[in-house]
Amino acid sequence: MRLLGNILWLVLGGLAIAFGWAVVALVLCVTIVGIPLGLQAFKMAALTLTPFGKTVAYGGGVGSTLANIVWVVLVGLWMAIGYVIAGAANCVTIIGIPFGIQSFKMAKLALWPFGAEIRNL
């Protein structure tokens, strides 16, 4: 099921979204100040590429929390809203529910990426 879900995800737009995250990450990594944000964008690209069979473990400390607050103010809130809207649209049909669940997982990571780790199930 994971393989089939990931293939459908890639064909139906996951590849384009992951490519977009990777481009954003590369642009952010051009400056020294943007490198931490770029690394989080690479994390989003990795999860967006193949979300089925992966989970996100949250952790971190004070530094991660402060960085997440900056992230939420700059881009996190808008990215999370976009993923929630996409997830709700996917959940309209029974076939789209697994894809909607993946979108909700990405919304949480888009909102609070620092200190999060992507793990395989």
What is the rounded CA–CA span in Å between residue 57 and residue 73?
22
Predicted TM-score (pTM) of this structure:
0.87
Cβ contact 71:91 at 8 Å: no
Predicted pLDDT at 80? 93
Residue range of the domain that includes 84 = 2-120
> How confident is the model at residue 3, as a pLDDT?
92
- 92 φ, ψ (degrees, to nearest 5): -65, -35
Number of domains composing the chain:
1
Length of the chain: 121
- pLDDT by 10-residue block (mean), the chain, 121 residues: 90 90 93 91 91 91 91 91 94 94 94 92 86
